[in-house]
Structure 1
């Protein structure tokens, strides 16, 4: 039996799900195909994901393919209660998610989803898979395979595989080009700044924005922040990524120096304690702290609390002000959790269209003969990535060239010289 906040919100949820669906033409096409082919007939799916309008599109697609779906939230601050209600009341999914639930409730919902006995698991950050292996190994027997859609989750899965702890195959959907190149770069880039502006109403033009991490997410953020007129400083631990940032014209500094310069700080590294007490101690009055990495560990919130002599909670929605002994004020957004989902609505639906198309097609691929893979982290087949890109281009009325026969021969021959 589902656990949601208010079933009466279903009508509003249906309307918002329909609005998002307009911007997800690839997933709609796959849903129509699934309704005919039924590749997931009889499969039980447990998903730990952000309960948003875009996720609802994926859940409905899996259902069209014949699956029964149980959904729990991968972040309590991102749960949209009206969407959860619509999925239960109108679309027949099991949902265990309430906006703002505490840590105990969060993990109780993960357990409830796992207790449905899934054949496939879909994860966003590896908490579902982690809980399954550590707390509920008794339920692993039914699981044939899984998918992971975040960088943080893939890192954790690779570590599990190296230690021989991973007991079923998991496909790194995050690592497909149509996911990380677009979702991370364009989705995170736009939605993170959207969340910061909604939470603070600050003008980004002329501000010095420090971005910790220059992976796909960091690149997207840096590009968009510069486009809005901000001065961008990048911090990195990877020499190659730092060089890339520098050659793109961004200032590159260690965090110890960047902490003195920045007015807005955004962490997107996938690691913990990126902004620590020694950094907080030298920041300017009014500095804004935001995280867009998956877990709430990138900004040391405990160190911030220890430095503060006073905390003003909710000075604006999703903004808490910490007053230090010398009178400086530091503003923490979304409790250090994902600012783009807690203070805004996450990625635009047009971006999630590709990410969830990758998920849906990968689930079908696993269900139709590939769930017998070795217990390891696997790549999405290239043909799935290519198909999603092809469908997206077609939905945008964009055509591309095809190789001629001579060009094909040339690319596949070593005998032809200059």
Structure 2
């Protein structure tokens, strides 16, 4: 039995899901193929993901392949209640998601999804897999494998694998080129700035935007912030990424220096305590704090609360002003949670088309190949990545060259010289 906020929202949710589907031609083609081939026939899937219209179209695709799906939300503030209602009442999924639910309810929903006894799991941050290994290890025996969608989740899974704790094969969907090169860079880049602008109505042109982390998400943010006229400063712990940022013309500084002159701070590191009390102490009046890393640990929200003498909740929707003892105001967006999914609508459907196509095809591959995989973290097969890219190009009416037989021979022979 699903646990959603309001079943009467199903009609609105269905309209929005169908709208998103129009921008997801690759996933739609895979859904049509799955309906014929039924690669997931009879399998149960438990997913912990953002409950958005794009995710709904992934769930529809898995169902077309023959799976039954139970979905819990991976972030209470990103849950779209109309989407949850539509999935439960129009598309026949079990959905455990309510916008704004507390931490206890969040984990209760994960447990409810797991109680369906899944054969495959889909995770977005590793909380579902972590819960399986800690609180519900009795269910692990039926799990054939799973997929992880985020950088944060992959980091956690790598550690589990290193410690020998991972008990079934997981696939790092996040690490495919058609996911991190496009979803992370173009999706996060656009949707994060969209969320900041919606929440604050600030003009980014002329502002100093400080971006913590220069992975694919940070690169996308930096490119787009510069395109809107901002001065961009990058903070990094990796010398190679810092050098890359510098050679692309971005400023590179430690956070302790950038904190004093930044106007907007955006964290995308996958780590905790990136912006802390020492940084709050020197920030400008009116500085904006936003997080686009998966969990709400990158900005020290508790430390900010300890420094504040008062907090003006929702000065604007999802923008809280923390007033410090010297009168300075720091503006925290979306309670330090994912600003792009909380203050905006997350990635555009067109970019999630590729990420969720990767997910769907990887699920089908796992269903077939799980017996040949060790309990470890695996890469998505290259042919899946290539297929998704090819389908996306075709949907955009873009053609590319192919190798001639002579070129193929040249690339595969060491005997042919100049």
> Which of the five TM-score ranges fits, normalised by the shorter chain?
over 0.9
> Which residue does the alignment assign to 2:279?
279
> Which residue does the alignment assign to 1:48?
48
Over residues 24-48 of structure 1, what are the superposed CA-to-partner deviations in whole Å (9 max), with x where a residue is unaligned?
0000000000000000000000000
Q: What's the CA shift for 1:371? A: 4.3
Aligned positions, number = 418
Q: What's the CA shift for 1:113? A: 0.2
Q: What's the CA shift for 1:369? A: 3.0
> Which residue does the alignment assign to 1:301?
301
Alignment check: 8 A CA contact 2:259 2:279 kept: yes
> Which residue does the alignment assign to 1:186?
186
After the TM superposition, list the runs of 4 or more consecutive aligned residues in structure 1 that deviate by more than 6 angstroms.
Answer: none
> Which residue does the alignment assign to 2:31?
31
> Which residue does the alignment assign to 1:135?
135
> Which residue does the alignment assign to 1:374?
374
Query: What is the distance in 2 between the residues matched to 1:127 and 1:316?
Result: 31
Query: What is the distance in 1 between the residues matched to 2:393 and 2:142?
Result: 38
In the alignment, structure 1 residue 164 sits paired with structure 2 residue 160 = no
TM-score by length of 2: 1.00
Query: What is the distance in 1 between the residues matched to 2:372 and 2:88?
Result: 32
In the alignment, structure 1 residue 266 sits paired with structure 2 residue 275 = no
> Which residue does the alignment assign to 1:350?
350
> Which residue does the alignment assign to 1:289?
289
Over residues 223-280 of structure 1, what are the superposed CA-to-partner deviations in whole Å (9 max), with x where a residue is unaligned?
0000000000000000000000000000000000000010000000000000010000
> Which residue does the alignment assign to 1:17?
17
Over residues 383-416 of structure 1, what are the superposed CA-to-partner deviations in whole Å (9 max), with x where a residue is unaligned?
0000000000000000000000000010011111
Matches within 5 A, 1:118-267: 118-267=118-267
Query: What is the distance in 1 between the residues matched to 2:86 and 2:48?
Result: 17
Q: What's the CA shift for 1:4? A: 0.2
Q: What's the CA shift for 1:370? A: 3.1
Query: What is the distance in 1 between the residues matched to 2:117 and 2:394?
Result: 38
Alignment check: 8 A CA contact 1:144 1:372 kept: no
Unaligned runs of 5+ in 1: none
Q: What's the CA shift for 1:59? A: 0.0
Query: What is the distance in 1 between the residues matched to 2:142 and 2:282?
Result: 52
Q: What's the CA shift for 1:372? A: 3.8
Q: What secondary structure does 1:203 align onto? A: coil
Q: What secondary structure does 1:47 align onto? A: strand
